[in-house]
């Protein structure tokens, strides 16, 4: 389960890092909006996965 949080951390660094952001130039606000939605969706999925796999102890 710890692996998914490491993946999400790395994804956040990649999505909001300079090389990727510089590609979008004029559409940076649209990119931030869409990237943020995708990032939140992945966090939502990760928390749902954790809740289903939790045995309570």
Question: What are 7-46's pLDDT values in tens digits?
Answer: 999 989 998 999 889 998 899 999 999 999 999 999 999 8
- Alpha-carbon dihedral 11, 12, 15, 21, rounded to 10 degrees: -150
CA distance 25 to 20: 10
pLDDT computed for residue 54 by the predictor: 57
pTM of the model: 0.72
CA distance 49 to 45: 6
- Domain segments of the chain: what residues? 2-52
Q: Is the confidence at residue 1, as pLDDT, over 90?
A: no
Q: Is the confidence at residue 52, as pLDDT, over 90?
A: no
Q: Is the confidence at residue 56, as pLDDT, over 60?
A: no
pLDDT computed for residue 32 by the predictor: 94
């Amino acid at each position: 389960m710890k692996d998914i949080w490491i993946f999400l951390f790395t994804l956040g660094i990649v999505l909001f890092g300079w090389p990727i952001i510089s590609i979008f130039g004029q559409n940076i606000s649209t990119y931030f909006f869409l990237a943020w939605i995708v990032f939140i969706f992945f966090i939502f999925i990760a928390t749902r996965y954790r809740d289903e796999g939790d045995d309570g102890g």
